Amino acid sequence: MRVLGIDPGTATTGYGFVEVNGHGMEAIEFDLIETSKEVSPELRLAYIYQNMRIIIERFSPEVMAIEKVFFSSNRRTAINVSQALGVMLLSAADANIQVVQYAPGTIKKLVAGDGRADKKVIQRALRDIFGAKIRSRPMKKTHFDNAADALAVAVCHIYTVGTV
């Protein structure tokens, strides 16, 4: 099974590609799609879409697993992230890829054993699963959480369908 995990955002979208093979789960790639606030919203969304299409073409995922958008107070952020989510859904539909969405608490519970786990606990759980390569990279430390969250979404889906 090949799963593309997504942590949607307009400024920073995290993605993580996980493959299940005879050796278990392997994190093939995890990274970010970043856009500048200086660029118009429609161009930011176009950039995200173009990059998603490249990622999908490169990895040929069977499933796109996305963290559900949840906001309690900031409407502007919710709207922006929802627009980015729409781009993710469109890119999956264009490639005929199944899409599943998971609530943040579900992801945390399945990956770290605690539905209220913080980002450090999730990253520690991911290192336990995939090894030491799951760490921040120079110049990307501030948004590493988004890439790690995307990996966690992919792992959540794999655990949910019971492939490992």
Of 42, 48, 36, which Cα lies nearest the Cα of 85? 48
Establish whether 26 is a catalytic residue.
no
DSSP secondary structure letter of residue 139: T
Catalytic residue among 19, 67, 145, 149: 67
Query: In Å, how far from its chain's centre is CA 2?
Result: 13
**Cα gap 155→18, rounded to integer Å:** 7
Establish whether 67 is a catalytic residue.
yes
7 is in an annotated binding site: yes
In the structure encoding, which two tokens stand for residue 120, read together?
Answer: 């450090």
Catalytic residue among 7, 19, 31, 145: 7
114 is in an annotated binding site: no
Catalytic residues: 7, 67
Going by the annotation, the residues of the binding site are 7, 67
**Binding site feature residues for Mg(2+):** 7, 67
